[in-house]
Structure 1
Amino acid sequence: MPPLPACPAPPVATVPRELVHKTNPDEVLLTGWHRTAPDAFTVHAHWPDDHRFYEVRHGLHDPLILSETIRQIFPLLSHTAYDVPFGHHLLWDHYRFTLHPAALDAALLPPTVDLHVSCLEAVRRGGRTTSLTLLIRAFRGGIPLATAHTRFTIQTPAVYRRLRAQYADAHLWPAPQLALPVPPARVARTHARDVVLSPSQTPGRHRLRIDPQHRILFDHPVDHVPGMLLLEAARQTAHHLHHPEPIVPIAMDCRFHRYVELHAPCWIDTQQLPPDAQGRPRTTLTFHQNNTPHLTTTLTHQRLDSASSTWHG
């Protein structure tokens, strides 16, 4: 008697999409949360091994799925634990993480992630929360995965529109012409649709490639370039810089100075730094528009020997 076909795994129950500011419920990674102290929480997540954008490569989960998981924690806790109304805007101020690459193994560890979140500072003005500073420690199967530290501010719709001025409705402007991508293989991507860099004539410089029709990076209309697209551009820039050597980012330290606008060229300049204390390469990237820095990030990576899948410093 032939074996019965395997039954597909049942869908994983996740938190309501509105709580993580997602339109597509398939992009929700968080599965639950509970409070462990007045300003401490445990958040649970599930990482699919077949995500269309955050792909498993070399047997490892994409490091940036960690950042998307953490990004979803911001609105979740803002709305559920700190009484932030829907419609208020969360503005990234800084974000840094360091991860243990062995804990990205897609086969040896469960796809569930436990994130222990401590709110180090909750600023309130006029009875409302205006900023949160979070420390996050992430684990997979009880094994340390990463540590992250971040701060974001929270603005009312009226204040946000005043800050954004003429850019508040930028998502309604005609879409800019989509620039040509660099070859996908140069930035560890399979499809050109997922490439967020365009070449330039200046060594060490790329142009940010913005596609508002990208269904994951632009889950819903926004009037500026999403933060996760900027982190993806930083990662792709590092891959391009070190191609064909396979690398994995293990740390980022990002400072968001101002919004990156949708309708002006954004250039990414790279500067190699001395290696860190473990001898791992580091690169600083500056994103600028109109000769003004909008984001600076320092990225640290490790090399992956594609033949043996072992890590090297």
Structure 2
Amino acid sequence: MNVHAFRKQDGDSIRSDRDTRLSPGDTSWLTPLTTTVPREYVHRASLAEVFLTRCTRIHETRFLLTGQWPRAHTFFLSPDGRRHDPMQIAETMRQVGLHLAHAVFDVPLGHHFIMWDMSFVSRVEHLGVGRTPTDLDVEATCVDVVRRRGKLVEFRLVITIERDGHLVANGGGRFTCITEAMYRRLRRSAPATTAHQAASHQPAPLPPSDFGRTAPRDVVLAPGGAPNRWRLNADTSHPILFDHEGDHVPGMVLLESARQAACALLPPGSTLIPATVSTEFRRYVEFTSPCWIEASGLAVTGSGTFHALITGRQDDDEVFTARISGPVVQD
């Protein structure tokens, strides 16, 4: 383990002059202070978007982490502001996987990660926004770990998230770690276009509420010329969806497009809570050609749960699929 990565947050700070006034035997100054993990370890540019606060290794591949979700996140929040967005679970899982790779398994900064799949099942009743930020307890286990010449190459993350002793979600995902040189070889035939170089964003002339959003800027879909078909139309200057530079559309943007497409299948005034999500990523989505998002409603169970299948295609190739289900609420 890279102990230096945790030293500051584990309480190894320099005692100030006021510490000399502590009574003999008073060790309260040793109480660790809460801070976020390094933003670089979760591939985030903004500290406000880092949701993890601590990591403790309890076994070779088993870890306990803590995290916190803000009460009023600008993106991961239900339209009425009363519930955390389940998609924040996916972002938290992504951060856990990256943090463990860098801070525990010593994958160097600058390496790239391929996320092959991700899924979670959430308990919507435990996603309410309270009077204080939501503190999380996370148990993570790395399985199917592959190493080559002592270096981490691939692993599957199995994760459980709790809040005040109540289960919030469980799920997992598979990650592959590759060097910068390997990534460049993998991407040598891809267009050298970054998010900031992509075509300027034109907001879709559609009500955000049709897609389960409240702000036009948050809508990532535009009309696709056919029923239940849209063109991926994400704003590449969006401060959350495109928090840092990259040469392909982030997986979290594809997940958001799937959620919005599922919501668009519903009658006006209805919103799907994505309580259960399962997705597979098959290839990178480029900025240089249209990506088409197609959705179909599979069924509505007796409990009112709506199920949808979403597929993304670019240049005649299937790039990702997602299955989303959850309760439907009225705005």
Q: TM-score, normalised by structure 2?
A: 0.84
User: Unaligned 5+ residue runs, structure 2?
Assistant: 1-32
User: Unaligned 5+ residue runs, structure 1?
Assistant: 1-10, 307-313
8 Å Cα contact 1:97-1:251 kept in structure 2: yes
Residue 280 of structure 1 pairs with residue 305 of structure 2: yes
User: In structure 1, the residue corresponding to 2:36 is in which secondary structure?
Assistant: coil
Q: Which moved more, 1:182-191 or 1:74-83?
A: 182-191
Q: What is the CA–CA distance in structure 2 between the aligned matches of 1:299 and 1:66, rounded to whole Å? A: 14
CA RMSD of aligned residues (A): 2.0
Correspondence for 2:182: 159
Residue 225 of structure 1 pairs with residue 246 of structure 2: no
User: In structure 2, the residue corresponding to 1:33 is in which secondary structure?
Assistant: strand
AA partner of residue 116 (structure 1): E
Give the superposition deviation at 1:219: 1.0
Residue 29 of structure 1 pairs with residue 51 of structure 2: yes
Correspondence for 2:226: 202
2:320 to 295, 305, 310: 295
8 Å Cα contact 1:161-1:168 kept in structure 2: no
Correspondence for 2:157: 134
Structure 1 residues 252 and 88: CA distance shift in structure 2, 3 A: same
Q: What is the CA–CA distance in structure 1 between the aligned matches of 2:278 and 2:34, rounded to whole Å? A: 32
Q: How many matched pairs?
A: 296
Correspondence for 2:75: 53
* Percent pairwise identity: 36
8 Å Cα contact 2:144-2:156 kept in structure 1: yes
Give the superposition deviation at 1:271: 2.2
Q: What is the CA–CA distance in structure 1 between the aligned matches of 2:222 and 2:97, rounded to whole Å? A: 30
Q: What is the CA–CA distance in structure 2 between the aligned matches of 1:166 and 1:21, rounded to whole Å? A: 24
Structure 1 residues 158 and 82: CA distance shift in structure 2, 3 A: same
8 Å Cα contact 2:312-2:319 kept in structure 1: yes
AA partner of residue 291 (structure 1): D
Residue 187 of structure 1 pairs with residue 211 of structure 2: yes
1:122 to 135, 145, 162: 145
Residue 261 of structure 1 pairs with residue 283 of structure 2: no
Give the superposition deviation at 1:98: 0.6
Correspondence for 1:13: 35
Structure 1 residues 83 and 174: CA distance shift in structure 2, 3 A: closer
Residue 98 of structure 1 pairs with residue 121 of structure 2: yes
Give the superposition deviation at 1:276: 6.2
Correspondence for 1:68: 91
Q: Which digits, 9 at most, give the CA deviation of each residue in 1:116-138, with x for residues without a partner?
A: 10111211112211111011011
AA partner of residue 60 (structure 2): P
Q: Which digits, 9 at most, give the CA deviation of each residue in 1:49-108, with x for residues without a partner?
A: 111111244421111111111111121000111121111101111111111100101128
1:87 to 110, 114, 121: 110
Q: Which digits, 9 at most, give the CA deviation of each residue in 1:189-225, with x for residues without a partner?
A: 2221111010122001011113221111111110000
Q: Larger Cα Rg: Structure 1 or Structure 2?
A: 2
AA partner of residue 17 (structure 1): R
Q: What is the CA–CA distance in structure 1 between the aligned matches of 2:301 and 2:211, rounded to whole Å? A: 23
Q: TM-score, normalised by structure 1?
A: 0.89
8 Å Cα contact 1:199-1:206 kept in structure 2: yes
Q: Which moved more, 1:162-171 or 1:92-101?
A: 162-171
Q: What is the CA–CA distance in structure 2 between the aligned matches of 1:80 and 1:23, rounded to whole Å? A: 17
Residue 270 of structure 1 pairs with residue 295 of structure 2: yes
Q: What is the CA–CA distance in structure 2 between the aligned matches of 1:174 and 1:83, rounded to whole Å? A: 32
Q: What is the CA–CA distance in structure 2 between the aligned matches of 1:289 and 1:64, rounded to whole Å? A: 24
Q: What is the CA–CA distance in structure 2 between the aligned matches of 1:177 and 1:25, rounded to whole Å? A: 26
Give the superposition deviation at 1:172: 7.6
2:263 to 223, 235, 239: 239
Give the superposition deviation at 1:279: 6.0
